[in-house]
A and B are shown apart, each in its own frame.
Chain A
Amino acid sequence: MATLSSPLRVCRGILRELRAIQGPSYKKSLAYNYVLDQFRKNKVTGERYCRAQQEAHHDSHTYLCLLASTRNHLALHNLYHGKGERSPEEVAGLVGLRLPTQPGGKGWEK
């Protein structure tokens, strides 16, 4: 069995991700109520060995991973790949170069 963080932490993690997605009104969303409902229902069988509970735990962990990874991936995408093509100046800047200035313009030696 894979070692997973505790259900409470996973639950909090999912709710935090939902809040990041939906903003302050996240408590009214479908997912918020459903997730809380599922975690509460699973608490009942807490003490006994329960396969269904472990399955639910693994699934919730997977869902948390999905939400967090999608968020991180989009953040990196917007940072590095989301702006389309770069201008020549930016491309030169990436490798630490500067484009030559225009003849007669600023920095031009007579």
Chain B
Amino acid sequence: MRCLAENTETGKDLLRFLTCGSVDDGKSTLIGRLLWDAKLLCDDQIVAIEADSQRSGSHGQDIDFALLLDGLQAEREQGITIDVAYRFFETQHRKFIVADTPGHEQYTRNMATGASTADLAVILVDARKGILTQTRRHSFIASLMGIRHVILVINKMDLVDYDAAVFYSLRATYLDFAEGLGFETLSCLPVSALKGDNVCAASLSMPWFDGAPLLAQLEAVEVYSSADSLPFRMPVQWVCRPDLDFRGFCGTVSSGHIAVGDTVVVAASGQTSTVRRIVSFDGDRAEAWQGDAVNLVIADEIDISRGDTLAVPHDCPDFADQFSARILWMHADPLLPNRTYLIKIGTTVSGVRINRLDCRINVNTFERTAAECLALNEVGVCDVAVDRAVAFDSYAANRGTGRFILIDRYSNDTVGCGMILHALRRATNVYRHAETVSKSARVTLMHQKPCILWLTGLSGSGKSTLANVLEQHLHGLGCHTMLLDGDNIRHSLNRDLGFTDADRVENIRRVGEVAKLMVEAGLIVLVAFISPFRSERRMVRELMEDGEFLEIFVDTPFDVCCRRDSKGLYAKALNGDIPNFTGVQSPYEVPEFPELRVDGTADVATSTEAILALLRARGIL
């Protein structure tokens, strides 16, 4: 597009908004009514909705406006909204994209999806039910996501006889609650979506209300983005190298402005250079703004690749591996401190650990309470430790570079999202000391290839017995070994830990780090730990170099372990005397791809020989 306008103030701009609130507050009905009254529906859509309303509508002979948006079969059958629907419409004054989001608590993540790209939230309340937890939760998430403008719609006024007292009382309650949420504009509106009161036209049934109807408010509210006036940031997305003579760095300008001749700095290395060209299909450009997808050619040959962030030298983003953030958890498996996840921030994907969970924030009262984990739809403040330093800003200062998502390493599900508060300096002030005698020097002196033999399995599966016999054999062969046994370590290094999921994660993290140090000392380390979670076994694997971590699954059926019960623990656990016992109340996640599986019911000599064979095959013996 060659003739783009410089003046964006004239003409119709775009407003992205969402509708949210508790289930059955009439969100989909409101949008359906708005489209209907504003005459924004097509003829065939009107015919279809009339037919649908007869078939599966919930208002007898009347039109069920929600069916315009609830497009999934499951939604229409159950009469609920499951996922966010996007609708596009345009009036004489403005273009709109509306995200109609679900009210059910279990689908809060879909509401967050809709909120993340919205400028304004229309929050609905059922006049009969008042301000509910879900109203508060959605208001809180809207505020977390940085939405500055809110219209509170008190809906179903027809069912409370259009009573002004009901409206003003709910309005007062909400204003009181929302005081701390930092909304720039907040207007309250009495509506009947079903009857059309105060949707497109002022209500005849509520002459006591003199505010503008919803559509007029949506057309009038002024939202502007400050992202153009912020310092320049661009996460590098892709390096364009069609031939040896061209190297361009592609990405979307996340904030600020860039022009040919400007100096840019690579946040990671601190190296600077100048912008030589801004290449585009339509010819070179002189400058680019926030939101533009550009291809920059830099004057000097400096190292830049995907995941790097380009910035202006006088106002750089933070570059650190630890920060504090608010996290909204979106998965049924809770967030556990010290478990590792993947983080996507800008164009970087890296391993990440929640080092500490500062607190959980109650969505009703905003009270901060201590917490061991974050369950589905909960919000907490966390210390986040990324595997490597990354460039970021606080979300308040710069939305584009202050946000991230968390991904589960196994299912690849998006399990959480976060908004950064500030960098934590503790990581930057602790420097690694370079060691003069290296790992390889120590290993050479030992005349052996160090590794971890990680024995995992249920309690009573025979891990400790097998590890002991194995260590005797290795010792007899002249190997330098060390045995770390779960029970013994729990009496010493880890005696402060219990058996909750969070403590189990920390238990394995510590023993993993200890085993790693021993490998660096050149030892063959035998670890006999139940280690029930795949995620932590994988975390230890990733601490080590390739081939150093050998996972051995001691596979003994549950009933065999129960029968053996050498410590009498199963009897107690099954009796309910030990909570969180693996295999009883707490899960054991079977290894998917262990280096070796040994049959825990076979005799120890056979299993030992199988492991020795593995070590020979891997060149360790």
The answer to whether A and B come from one shared complex is no
- By a beta-carbon cutoff of 8 Å, the part of chain B in contact with chain A is none
- By a beta-carbon cutoff of 8 Å, the part of chain A in contact with chain B is none
